[in-house]
Chain A
Amino acid sequence: MDIFSGFLSGFQTVLQPANFLYCFLGVFIGTLVGVLPGIGPVGAMSILLPTTFSLSPVSAIIMFAGIYYGAMYGGSTTSILVNIPGEAASVVTCLDGYQMARQGRAGPALGIAAFGSFIGGTFSLIGLMFLVFPLARTALKFGPPEYFSLVCMSMTVLVYLAKGSVVNAIIMVLVGIFLSTVGIDLFSGVQRFTFGSITLSDGIGLVPLAMGLFGISEVLTNMEGPLERILFKTKIRNLFPNRDDWKRSIGSIARGSVIGFLLGILPGGGALISSFISYTVEKKVSKHPDEFGKGAIEGVAGPETANNAATGGAFVPLLAMGIPPNVVMAILLGALMIHGIVPGPRLITKHPEIFWGTIASMYIGNVMLLFLNLPLIGLWVKLLKVPYQILMPLILLFCLIGSYSVNNSIVEVIIMIIFGFIGYILRKFEYEEAPLLLAFILGPMLETNFRQSLIMSDGKLSIFLERPISAAALIISVLLLVSTSLSFYRKAKTKATE
């Protein structure tokens, strides 16, 4: 199937009433969670994971993809109007977006964020379509050693780009892999760390783990702070940026598209990092850098474009190799695996309707978002006024229902509560949950390929260095770890001399 006919078949898939509805639902929920602080796309996807059991795999992935890029759109609204990022990738938008709102220019700020997101999202989809094929063809030649090393590299990059301490991120990755080993070992049938529990013999469920770590712990953390937020009162008018705004933003949007797409492909990169890098680049190339932080429209256009472009980029490694580069993609992978579908190089030929359906849905979803975010901005602003005291019990109830619905089992609910508490404590001690969840999902892939490689090579570890792609991935991993250690050593030395 060539790109054109594949693309047409994708549109046929997504224009089926059910899929179209799930595409709309996805972008709607995505915008909603993007707008509402206190729950992000990961939390929302975790809560909705059980509802996908009864959906077709293509509907499930269309909806989840919609939540992801919808949240990137919606996140800008709270950043601009309330100075509180709806989700992490919109943190940097607060800097100039909120200042623009204070100067009475909330409309153009919201407008350029929506248009930039649309352009970035569309650009990344084109990039995705052209990059995924050669990558998938290459990935067909990969064996267990290559996959093992690539998973190792993904985890190392994730650690390297961690927000906080690198050591803490490594610990989270190791704990995630350990949790993935709980249950029956598929090679030998031995029960590992189950201690006689029937529920645990199937392994720890993705739903209770993700809901606990991202849903419950998020609510618990938010409970500590003030539950009320101040909404900046401004009249939103002139959502369409003027000629001068476009002149200043067009370069930022172009650069944001490329930065976002490329960084989205990198493991651990994604929307957050790309928005920050885009902001830094914009400030560097700007003719008036002194305006940044005081309401420069480029500071909104670049990052908002980049965080949406990153969503398309993130699909590249997932669809081409079956390796999720970030935690959102990991949940998406989990949702597909629940339906017995393993993303990877054969996905395009085996399940073209999923591959092309997802891509076409993202085009349609991007257009839907433009309509949802510009004419309906008033609705989202009203939603912002819903107090967190009312949202919080509802989020908790959805988590409880979601975890119970997996197996109609109270044990799953209790597992979720336990992980919610663990997640809360981890946050207190500055440990991030994202590396843990990503490692938990990649863990079985890592172990299976490691063991298969050893069996293939008759127990020789050198197999990982004898194959060029595997060796390159491992060398990159080592270099990243060495560079992190060196930078830590330098910092420690500077402190000591002070």
Chain B
Amino acid sequence: MKRSNIPIFIWILLSFFIMFFSHQFGLGEFRTPGPGLMPFLIGLFLLLISLYSFMRSLLRKGDREETLIEERSTVSFWRVGFVLLSLLAFALLLEKIGYLITSFLILAFLFRSTGSKGWRFALITSGVTALATYFVFTYLGLRFPTGIFKLGGFLK
């Protein structure tokens, strides 16, 4: 399967998903349109345009495809993975260990993983940023979780 066809298959699956559930919500009639009518029409259009896109890609020559794959294989995906993992870690840890510790850890990790300067720089900048954002946003009315260590609870 051509690599550029992957999203087309996802769109086709999505269109079936939309149409199936829209039908269950109730399509109604044109006189009294139901909650499923609009999403059903969107699903139908999505299916048609995806099929058109698929047909078009079948007719297209393969030369462009090769350069596309080559371009992507040289790209440094590991950095992207690190960033995504750290974002997920933030979401998982925030309420457990509180904002101050979570943001400090995530920032230190991100500063280091992008190769900027040394550990000392990463730790100091992360600490200062975590504290500064905590104070500024708390002042603006935001309430951050303090976590099991209750760090920062003194501002409440």
B43 to chain A, nearest CB (A): 7
Given A174-B42, A216-B87, A223-B83, A54 contacting B140 (CB threshold 8 A) = yes
Q: Which of A181, A392, A413, A459 contacts B90 (CB 8 A)?
A: A413
Assign chain B's interface to a size class: 35 or more
**Chain B residues whose CB sits within 8 angstroms of the CB of A461 once the complex forms:** 30
The reply to whether A171 and B87 form a contact with Cβ atoms under 8 Å apart is no
A389 contact from B75, B111, B133, Cβ within 8 A: B111
Contacts of A387 in B (CB 8 A): 116
Judge if B100 is at the interface, Cβ distance under 8 Å. no
Asked if B80 is at the interface of the complex by the 8 Å CB criterion, the answer is: yes
A190 within 8 A of B: yes
CA distance in complex: A298, B142 (Å):
48
A286 within 8 A of B: no
Taking CB atoms, residues of chain A closer than 8 Å to B49 are 167, 170-171, 174
User: Which residues on B sit within 8 Å (CB–CB) of A377?
Assistant: none
Report yes or no: B137 in contact with A405, Cβ–Cβ below 8 A.
Answer: yes
Contacts of B50 in A (CB 8 A): 171
Contact B72 A190 (CB under 8 A): no
Which of A168, A410, A446 contacts B94, CB < 8 Å? A410
**A220 in contact with B80 given A174-B42, A397-B103 (CB within 8 Å):** yes
Q: Is there a chain B Cβ closer than 8 Å to A299's Cβ?
A: no
How far, in whole Å, are A190 and B22 apart by their CA atoms in the complex? 11
How far does the Cβ of B77 sit from chain A's closest Cβ, in whole Å? 7
Cα–Cα, bound, A454→B86 (Å): 49
CB proximity of B128 to chain A, nearest CB, Å: 11
**In the complex, how many residues of chain A place their beta carbon closer than 8 angstroms to a beta carbon of chain B?**
60
Interface of chain A: mostly helix, strand, loop or mixed: helix
> What is the chain B residue whose CB lies nearest that of A51?
B140
Q: CB-defined interface of B89-107 with A at 8 Å, one 1/0 digit per residue?
A: 0110011000000010011
Q: Chain A nearest CB: distance from B34 CB in Å?
A: 7
Task: Tell me whether B156 is interfacial, beta carbon within 8 Å.
Answer: no
- Cβ–Cβ contact B84 & A451, under 8 A: no
Given contacts A400-B90, A455-B32, 13 further A-B contacts (CB under 8 A): A181-B42, A185-B35, A190-B25, A192-B21, A192-B39, A224-B77, A389-B114, A390-B125, A396-B83, A396-B87, A401-B133, A429-B6, A459-B32
A158 and B115 CA atoms in complex are apart in Å by 40
User: From A404, which residue of chain B is reached at the shortest CB distance?
Assistant: B94
Offer 12 A-B interface pairs, CB within 8 angstroms, sorted by A. A178-B43, A187-B35, A192-B21, A223-B83, A224-B75, A393-B107, A396-B87, A397-B106, A401-B137, A413-B90, A450-B38, A460-B30
> Which chain B residues have a beta carbon within 8 Å of chain A's beta carbons?
4, 6-7, 11, 14, 18, 21-22, 25-26, 29-39, 42-43, 45-46, 49-50, 52-53, 56, 59, 72, 75-77, 79-80, 83-84, 86-88, 90-91, 94-95, 103, 106-107, 110-111, 114-116, 125, 129, 133, 137, 140-143
* Cβ contact within 8 Å between A417 and B53: no
Q: How far is the CB of A79 from chain B (nearest CB, A)?
A: 25
Q: Say whether A242 faces chain B, with CB atoms less than 8 Å apart.
A: no
B87 and A420 form a contact (CB under 8 A): yes
Residues of B within 8 A of A216 (CB): 87
Residue A394 lies at the interface, judged by CB distance under 8 Å to chain B: yes
The interface residues of chain A lying within 8 Å CB-to-CB of B75 are 224
Nearest Cβ on chain A to B51's Cβ, whole angstroms: 11
Please name all residues of chain B whose beta carbon is closer than 8 Å to the beta carbon of A460 when the two chains form the complex: 30
Chain A residues, CB < 8 A from B59: 492
Question: Bound complex: CA of A421 vs CA of B83, how far in Å?
Answer: 10
For A459, give its contact among B29, B36, B39, B84 (CB under 8 Å): B29
Evaluate contact between B140 and A181: CB separation under 8 angstroms: no
Q: State A415–B63 Cα separation when bound (angstroms).
A: 37
Interface hub of A51, A185, A424, A426 (most chain B Cβ within 10 A): A185
Residues of A within 8 A of B114 (CB): 223, 227, 389, 392-393
Once A175-B46, A410-B95 are accepted as A-B contacts, the answer to whether A220 and B83 lie under 8 Å apart by CB is: yes
Knowing A223-B80, A223-B83, A458-B31, say if A431 contacts B140 (CB, 8 Å).
no
What is the bound-complex CA distance between A389 and B116, given in angstroms?
6
Whether the pair B143, A413 counts as a contact (CB closer than 8 A) is: no
Interface string of A14-35 (1 = CB under 8 A from B): 0000000000000000000000
Known: A51-B140, A410-B91. A174 touches B80 (CB 8 A): no
Q: Output the least CB separation between B46 and chain A (Å).
A: 5
In this complex, what residue of A is CB-closest to B5?
Answer: A429
Q: Once the chains are docked, how many angstroms separate the CA of A51 from the CA of B140?
A: 8
Known: A389-B115, A404-B94. A451 touches B37 (CB 8 A): yes
Q: Nearest residue in B to A182 (C-beta to C-beta)?
A: B39
Question: Which residues A407-466 have CB closer than 8 A to chain B?
Answer: 408, 410, 413-414, 417, 420-421, 424-426, 428-429, 431, 446-447, 450-451, 454-455, 458-461
